[in-house]
Structure 1
Amino acid sequence: MKKVIYFLSLFIITAVSAQKTDEEQLKDIYDAALTKSKAYDWLNYLSNQIGGRLSGSVQAQQAVDYTKLQLDELGLDKVWLQPVMVPKWNRGLPEFAYFESDPGVTTNVPICALGGSVATPLGGLKANVVEVKSLDDLAILGKQRLEGRIVFFNRPMDPTNISTFDAYSGCVDQRYAGAAEAAKYGAVGIIVRSMNLRLDDLPHTGTMSYGDLAINKRIPAAAISTNAADLLSLSLRLNPDISFYFKQNCEQFDDVQSYNVIGEIKGTTTPEEIMVVGGHLDSWDLGDGSHDDGAGCVQSMEVLHLLKESGYKPKRTIRVVLFMNEENGLRGGNKYAEVAKSKKEKHVFALESDSGGFTPRGFSFDCSEENFIQVQSWKPLFEPYLIHMFVKGHSGADIGPLKDDQMVLAGLRPDSQRYFDHHHAANDTFEHVNKRELELGAASMASLIYLFDKYGVIAAK
């Protein structure tokens, strides 16, 4: 009997001593990310073999098929596709534009149609142009000044705002609602300064909305590059009678079926509690969507790979979700939340990566004060990896519909200073993603998932 007790005690001591400390677990995660990561190769395929992944496109379906295959090969406990109906918009032939300062004297400028815009008439659209800085300017100018004209929205991102996402939020209303508002005053079209802090010749697309405007009253909307916007603005000061011509061939089709791609590792002790990590699989079509949001997708897939590589057995179910249609509808995020609610699934934590594949700086959290205090207690664990920013704030668009009082929502926060140089533009391409930065981001995400899985979410009082 004494021998049995001795060997049992020895087994327990050995098992306890074999458990990793948090420092050791994070070190194993980061080491695996920097030596065994699959994320960069996955992104290479998504970007260079498939390319831009507009919702409803052939490329979007190819991305669904590819990522499901890769998740299957990771040996997860379950991988499946979740059907979702998504909008289908096609850009058509490349856009063309110029402004005319005197009869026959024209200057070509780079533009691109905004996502969801209607086409111009078959022969293009030409009219005098009126520059404004805000939606409020439309009411000041009124129908008398705007009817029959093209409205040029030229409010730039604020370069003094260190948070580039705040700078973006400060001017994106003109892109999203500009056409709907200008049409109310009889405008025949709009052009919008690209949401970009850099001066360059690349127009940046993005979604726009006509609200409840009747189809026959909708006007074409396009983005103009920052260099061209400055040139047009200067030219208008010298000659207010400038006319602007543009032609675009976009078309809106009926909704089509697509899918969220989902895979999971089943929890060992409380599998009914679900933790989500994800990004959005769709992208705009001008580039290949490497930063927005191919990077977030492969980082999220990599989280599950890293947990398996480091030998960690999660208590809770860890689920990766690659959402479809974030860019122009959020249908994937809404569908996932709808199905989760209908099945009465218990989600306790969700993490999203949708801010590019740049060097990770930390996380933002949408959570209770008690959970935020817990997060701050983990800061010393991240300091060796130069992760220092733990703030309250927005988590992510796709996980937002999951929110309730009991959940913690989080967003990876990479360095954002270069993000809007590429956002929704033709240079959002694979060569602008750094392999090591991408891997560090995935390791940071996996580390946060590990800590929340080990220590749990503090329930609201």
Structure 2
Amino acid sequence: MKKLLFLVLLFSFCVYGQTEDEKQLRAIYDKALLDARGYDWLEHLSNQIGPRLSGSLNAERAVTYMREQLDSLGLDRVWLQPVMVPKWVRGIPEVAYIETSPGMTNNVPICALGGSVATPAGGLKAKVVEVQGLEDLAALGREKIEGRIVFYNRPMQANLIETFEAYGGCVDQRYSGAREAAKYGAAGVIVRSMNLRLDDLPHAGAMSYGDLPAEQRIPAAAISTNGAELLSGMLTLNPEINFYFKQNCRQLADVQSYNVIGEIKGSEHPGEVMVVGGHLDSWDLGDGAHDDGAGCVQSMEVLRLLRETGYRPKRTLRVVLFMNEENGLRGGNKYAEVAREKNEKHVFALESDAGGFTPRGFTLECTDEQYELILNWKPLFEPYLIHLFQRGYSGADIRPLKGGDLLLAGLRPDSQRYFDHHHAANDTFEHVNKRELQLGAATMAALVYLVDKYL
């Protein structure tokens, strides 16, 4: 009899809770779609401020603007967290061409990779050796590489439905390509852009020399996918063609910047912290609207949507706009360092850093018990076409917090168009759909609400 009574009470609680939760999620989505703020914030960030490379004037203008917007939301606290960041500058635009014979050239679009050294003042011209990946270098050996430009031409694997998996399958040639090629005496490196379509837009991104001495570092640039196809085809016809490129980038001394943070103090458990965030810095070719202005304004919207739908979080809810994800991860590391120093207890962290496209769900780094709990919420999201709840990578800026039973989550939008824009000149505001952006913000707010209520 007691067992039956318990089941009846449990069923009644679940039905009531589900009804209450359905109403709250509906209110969140209604507010996001009918009374949007994030899209306006993103318009200003993208069009009035623009590219926000770490250490740049625009990055600091973005810090000031986003702090002002957080102040306007009436949060319990808003502050700046100092962090030293690298300052790499591109200089005047890069130039490159393929030379088939003296005076016969074809211009191709390139861009210096973030962190690269410059070419000599007059540029670099050398013969080219094409490879499909880092592993090809050892097979070729110093004899076939020394004095040449190594051309990494492994494309993203187009038959992988998960485009981030395709990206992960070839990004090592961008990040480590120059370091490895220099060991064989290469003069420079050209890397096929991380892009699934064929176009004339080179895609930037970070690269690293590791512990390679400064005098051994060689210039590295990305070439557009159309340019890569042209270069590969011309090498097939004539392996002795030359490639010329000139870039003027420089690595300057570190400068101080800031993470921008705002919070709503928890009504019941203020010592337990939930974080939502994105990274405020961007590459300098476009205006960083998808990567990651979208994630920043969505995270800010989470706090606004919960406040304006009347929900007061039981735990402290904090938005963090991280600085320097693109070429150093200094902001994420600094935030985690300070949290440890203050002995803060973080119970949940959610990041949006996959573009402002239509949300599909979440990837989760969590315990088995947490995963089963979240799967029980899936029916609440299905009316909004959110179906993806799977274990996987959460986000670069929140991962330094990882440890214990901390639940980490990453918003996962539809990614099929993301790498058309990623780190390229067309990562601009006009390519962000207002409705898709706001749906993502609402989806994040819905998960935060449920975690706060039931975790």
TM-score (norm 2): 0.96
Secondary structure of the equivalent of 2:248? Answer: coil
* Alpha-carbon distance between aligned partners in 2 of 1:308 and 1:337, rounded to the nearest angstrom: 26
* 2:43 is the counterpart of 1:56: no
Aligned residue pairs, count:
440
* Alpha-carbon distance between aligned partners in 2 of 1:225 and 1:18, rounded to the nearest angstrom: 52
* 2:325 is the counterpart of 1:326: yes
Q: Deviations over 1:86-110 (max 9, x none)?
A: 0000000000000111221100000
* Alpha-carbon distance between aligned partners in 2 of 1:313 and 1:219, rounded to the nearest angstrom: 54
Q: CA deviation at 1:18?
A: 12
1:157-196 pair list within 5 angstroms: 157-196=156-195
Query: 1:388 and 1:18, CA in 2 relative to 1: closer, same or farther beyond 3 A?
Result: closer
1:244-323 pair list within 5 angstroms: 244-323=243-322
Output the amino acid matched with 2:372: I
Q: CA deviation at 1:66?
A: 0.3
Corresponding residue for residue 143 of structure 2: 144
* Alpha-carbon distance between aligned partners in 1 of 2:251 and 2:439, rounded to the nearest angstrom: 39
Corresponding residue for residue 441 of structure 1: 440
Q: CA deviation at 1:153?
A: 0.3
1:81-92 pair list within 5 angstroms: 81-92=80-91
Output the amino acid matched with 1:77: D
* Alpha-carbon distance between aligned partners in 2 of 1:169 and 1:19, rounded to the nearest angstrom: 39
* Alpha-carbon distance between aligned partners in 1 of 2:404 and 2:266, rounded to the nearest angstrom: 23
* 2:340 is the counterpart of 1:341: yes
Q: Deviations over 1:1-27 (max 9, x none)?
A: xxxxxxxxxxxxxxxx99970000000
Q: Deviations over 1:151-187 (max 9, x none)?
A: 0000000000000000000000000000000000000
1:3-402 pair list within 5 angstroms: 21-402=20-401
* Alpha-carbon distance between aligned partners in 1 of 2:139 and 2:272, rounded to the nearest angstrom: 54
Output the amino acid matched with 1:101: T
Corresponding residue for residue 13 of structure 2: none
* Alpha-carbon distance between aligned partners in 2 of 1:18 and 1:173, rounded to the nearest angstrom: 47
Output the amino acid matched with 1:382: F
Output the amino acid matched with 1:375: I
* Alpha-carbon distance between aligned partners in 2 of 1:160 and 1:305, rounded to the nearest angstrom: 40
Secondary structure of the equivalent of 2:44? Answer: helix
* Alpha-carbon distance between aligned partners in 2 of 1:91 and 1:82, rounded to the nearest angstrom: 27
* Alpha-carbon distance between aligned partners in 2 of 1:43 and 1:332, rounded to the nearest angstrom: 20
Secondary structure of the equivalent of 2:100? Answer: strand
Corresponding residue for residue 12 of structure 1: none
CA RMSD, Structure 1 to Structure 2 (Å): 1.1
Secondary structure of the equivalent of 1:101? Answer: strand
Identical-pair percentage: 74
* Alpha-carbon distance between aligned partners in 2 of 1:184 and 1:315, rounded to the nearest angstrom: 55
Output the amino acid matched with 2:282: S
* Alpha-carbon distance between aligned partners in 2 of 1:74 and 1:20, rounded to the nearest angstrom: 29
Q: Deviations over 1:205-237 (max 9, x none)?
A: 000000000011100000000011001001000
* Alpha-carbon distance between aligned partners in 1 of 2:272 and 2:30, rounded to the nearest angstrom: 28
Q: CA deviation at 1:383?
A: 0.5
Secondary structure of the equivalent of 2:127? Answer: strand
* Alpha-carbon distance between aligned partners in 2 of 1:314 and 1:191, rounded to the nearest angstrom: 50
* Alpha-carbon distance between aligned partners in 1 of 2:252 and 2:213, rounded to the nearest angstrom: 16
Query: 1:20 and 1:231, CA in 2 relative to 1: closer, same or farther beyond 3 A?
Result: same
Q: Deviations over 1:300-336 (max 9, x none)?
A: 0000000011000110000000000000000000000
* Alpha-carbon distance between aligned partners in 1 of 2:231 and 2:268, rounded to the nearest angstrom: 63
Output the amino acid matched with 1:301: M
> 4+ residue runs of structure 1 moved beyond 4 angstroms?
17-20
* Alpha-carbon distance between aligned partners in 2 of 1:29 and 1:136, rounded to the nearest angstrom: 50
Output the amino acid matched with 2:33: L
* Alpha-carbon distance between aligned partners in 2 of 1:162 and 1:30, rounded to the nearest angstrom: 28
Corresponding residue for residue 428 of structure 1: 427
Q: Deviations over 1:182-210 (max 9, x none)?
A: 00000010000000000000000000000
* Alpha-carbon distance between aligned partners in 1 of 2:265 and 2:198, rounded to the nearest angstrom: 48
Query: 1:54 and 1:118, CA in 2 relative to 1: closer, same or farther beyond 3 A?
Result: same
Secondary structure of the equivalent of 1:21? Answer: helix
Secondary structure of the equivalent of 1:279? Answer: strand
* Alpha-carbon distance between aligned partners in 2 of 1:184 and 1:448, rounded to the nearest angstrom: 48
Q: CA deviation at 1:36?
A: 1.2
* Alpha-carbon distance between aligned partners in 2 of 1:18 and 1:107, rounded to the nearest angstrom: 66
- Unaligned stretches of 5+ residues in structure 2: 1-15
Secondary structure of the equivalent of 1:160? Answer: coil
Q: CA deviation at 1:37?
A: 1.7
Q: CA deviation at 1:405?
A: 1.9
Q: CA deviation at 1:35?
A: 1.0
Output the amino acid matched with 1:402: L
* Alpha-carbon distance between aligned partners in 1 of 2:18 and 2:60, rounded to the nearest angstrom: 42
TM-score (norm 1): 0.95
Output the amino acid matched with 1:58: L
Corresponding residue for residue 3 of structure 2: none
* Alpha-carbon distance between aligned partners in 2 of 1:431 and 1:36, rounded to the nearest angstrom: 20
* Alpha-carbon distance between aligned partners in 2 of 1:327 and 1:387, rounded to the nearest angstrom: 28
* Alpha-carbon distance between aligned partners in 1 of 2:404 and 2:391, rounded to the nearest angstrom: 15
Q: Deviations over 1:314-372 (max 9, x none)?
A: 10000000000000000000000000000000000000000000000000000001100
Secondary structure of the equivalent of 2:147? Answer: coil
